[in-house]
Amino acid sequence: MLRRKMFRDIKKNLSQFITIFLMIMIGIMAYSGIEAYMDGMTKTADKFYTENNLFDLNVMGLLNHDDLDNIKKIDNVKDAELKLSLTATTNNDKTLLLNCIETNNISKFYVLDGEKFNPDKSGVWLDNFYAEENNIKVGDTILVKYETMELQEKVLGLVNIPDHLYDVRDESELYPDRKKFGFAYISVNEITEDYIKSLVMKEANITDENIFNMVKPDFNYKDYIPYNNIMVDVNEKENVTKVKNNIEDHIENAKAIIKAEDTSSYVAYQGEIDEGKTYVGVFSGIFLFIALLSVITTMTRVVKRQRTQIGTLKALGFSNNKVLFHYMGYGLWISIFASIIGLLLGYYFIGTIFMNLQMEFFEIPNGYPSMASKSYLVALGVILIVALITYITGRSILKENPAETLRTEIPKIKSKSLNITKAGIFKKLSFSTKWNIRDILRNKMRTFMGLAGVVGCCMLIVCALGMLDSMNFFVKLQFEDLYNFDYKLNLKENISNEELKVLTDKYGSHTSQSLGIEIKDKDGEREANNILVTDASNDLRFVDNKNKIKEKPTDDGVYVTYKLAETKGYKIGDKIKWHIYGDNKYYESKIIGFNKDPQNQNVSMTRNYLESLDIKYQPDSLYTNKNLSNTKEIKNVETIQDIEGLKEGMEGMLSMMKTMLVLIISIAVLLGGIIIYNLGILSYTEKEYQFSTLKVLGFKDNQIKNIFIKQNNWIAIISIIIGLPLGFYLTDWLFKTAIEEHYDFCAFITTRTYIISAIGTFVVSYLVSRFLARKIKNIDMVTSLKGNE
């Protein structure tokens, strides 16, 4: 009998139970979907790093086989491999990071098409993303050029490699441009003897090849290959720092040693995971909280409206426990089904979409979402909370005797709180306004829940749109305010003064240099960073924390970015101790100012200050405003980058974010609409008796509709006023905590976003109110009034 009663009650209140189902489903879907995407990112990377043996340390410098043998002898070193990395060019002004290796046991290839690495094979293993963007297939032949060396290489394989998940040409690019930049691997046997001989002859200052052959009659070019990397595989993770220190102490040619966790590829991927973990706790957490709040309110009201029926069941002899379990079943079964469907949609819909977007961004194979156990626990928690609230509500009614429960509950209202409409300015208000004020005072909890639901949805819409606004603003800050040039020329390594002068005479003298450094803190801990040395005049500008352009930097110390200063606790006047990689001499520099950089948290100084420390200034970048649109190649320049191309790369990253945020906005709007509709139904159902009374007293349907709509409009407007600033603070908090520490973003939300969010929230609320108000004309006054006797 009770089962039939349950089905009858659900059918009678179908719209409310549907909204309960949808709210739980959407809340669980949002949470589990983002959690599955983040857990999938972590597991996919861990699997790829482990199966393809990502290096633990990368040793940089001018290295040889003796260095390789000495590193292999160090305790806890499992294996090591030499690598020569060059920035080469190919057809149509494209750039390839060309890597020459002898073996491939560390950072092994994941071959998507073609064959495995073979040092005896003549050919190239190419970046799969670059190949796709440029329509290159296995078996094609590509041109690879570096200085005097030109190679025509057959493509033997398309690969992903664990230390190339995220490759950019240099620090000025935020987003990989796979159309113009990729990586390639060849065997060292492909390096031509003529090229190596030319390097050795240049170093020995010999121009005649015959003389060189006499000086080095037994010349074997492979002994002179200038390797610049040794990848090291350490036996256990806890030994990595110990091995790093041993290499620093014993390998003289090691100029810099970078842990895998500090490489740009690893940091970018891990930063995305860390950001996502914050999103799980914020976006999906808010979705779930708002949905649960509304469900609790609804279930409480549904059970309380069954008060007289509970009294009837008690009078018929049903035990308290049987009645309680009957009403717990209302929320229990619906929340179970909603949670199951939410988990499935979260995994197969949100998790899969977000994961596929990331796999288009990072070069990692077999990316898949993974349902975390936490999602199941959250779903179980939601089910138990709904059941518990139903239990508590039902138990509070069952404590009363049957005679009391058979009567309608009289609201506990203090008469003084209702008399407010009879005093002062309230006396002059219209009847509908007075009625709504009194109704709000009678039903404070319902009003609070309505406010909380609409505020949350408005806040999420502001946050999602505001993140796009903020990213667009920082594109402008980076590429219009900080960068004031049209083209950046990345100079070749070891360029001579004469060769540099040829370039500066033609393209201008605005240059900069980037130095890899280690900063030692007060406790003796060392951390990798870099110094930007500027001699670029107004082409590289400094901005303050309010995004205003600062005056030209002075020559009596260093500038530190705001984010780095905040992270490390630096203040103006403090001194930092640092050394350049490859030089053990430490310098102490006074911090004379701060500057803002959205994408690099580093130290800056002028050329004059660098030279005052007796350090030679050797520029690696030259900035110009000359038109180089038709220039494909410049002697002694590795790459030519135009500012529009850099900006397009950033906008490419934004397009991916937009897809993800559009999905979040859609869920927020959908959840907001359902919550507003659900609260509207609750409000309407609870007022049905009052509306019937007003009808009996002669009020027309339109007058009653206006009373109903007016109160919902008040709640929507108050919610918007609260939700807009909260949306700003949520966005700002996300940027300051979720964004990876190398970036310095904060909220910058346009007036248009606030207007769109406000109008959108209000329109949804108003349309729902109008839709529900149509029911007023169908009220059966006799049934409604008799039901409350």
Taking the C-alpha atoms of residue 747 and residue 690, their distance in angstroms, rounded to an integer, is 46
Q: Which of 780, 734, 649 is nearest to 167 (CA)?
A: 649
SS3 content of the chain, % helix, strand, coil (to 5): 55, 15, 25
Please report, in angstroms and rounded to a whole number, the separation of the first and last CA atoms in the chain.
26
Q: Which of 93, 115, 92 is nearest to 104 (CA)?
A: 115
Contact (CB, 8 A) for 545 and 566:
no
* Number of helical (H) and strand (E) elements in the chain, helices listed first: 24, 19
Give residue 425's pLDDT.
63
Residue 383 vs residues 179, 330, 390: alpha-carbon distances, Å: 49, 11, 11
Handedness of CA 452, 456, 462, 463 (dihedral sign): positive
Long-range contacts of 86-90, Cβ-Cβ distance < 8 Å, separation of 24 or more? 86/146, 87/146, 87/169, 87/490, 87/638, 87/639, 88/144, 88/145, 88/146, 88/184, 89/144, 89/145, 89/146, 89/633, 89/638, 89/639, 90/142, 90/143, 90/144, 90/145
Residue type for position 632: K
Backbone angles phi, psi at 702, to 5 degrees: -65, -35
Backbone angles phi, psi at 17, to 5 degrees: -70, -30
Contact (CB, 8 A) for 295 and 339:
no
Residue that has been written with the tokens 């094979």 in this structure: 121
Taking the C-alpha atoms of residue 102 and residue 764, their distance in angstroms, rounded to an integer, is 64
Does the pLDDT value for residue 123 go beyond 90?
A: yes
Least confident of 275-279, 494-498, 622-626, 709-713: 275-279
Taking the C-alpha atoms of residue 77 and residue 247, their distance in angstroms, rounded to an integer, is 10
The rounded Cα 130 to chain-centroid distance in angstroms is 24
pLDDT in tens, 17-58: 787 788 788 888 888 888 888 889 999 999 999 999 999 999
Contact (CB, 8 A) for 181 and 130:
yes
Does the pLDDT value for residue 774 go beyond 70?
A: yes
Q: Which of 649, 2, 741 is nearest to 316 (CA)?
A: 2
pLDDT band for position 470 (cuts 50, 70, 90):
confident
Instruction: Kindly give, in sequence order, each residue whose CB lies less than 8 Å from that of residue 242, ignoring residues fewer than 6 positions away.
Output: 75, 76
Which is higher by pLDDT, 546 or 163?
163
pTM: predicted TM-score of the whole model, two decimal places:
0.72
pLDDT in tens, 543-583: 888 888 888 888 889 999 988 888 888 999 999 999 887 77
Contact (CB, 8 A) for 107 and 93:
no
Tally the C-alpha atoms within 13 A of residue 68's C-alpha that lie toward its C-beta: 19
Give residue 112's pLDDT.
94
Helix (H, G, I), strand (E, B) or coil at 290: helix
Handedness of CA 747, 748, 751, 753 (dihedral sign): negative
pLDDT band for position 231 (cuts 50, 70, 90):
very high
pLDDT band for position 628 (cuts 50, 70, 90):
confident
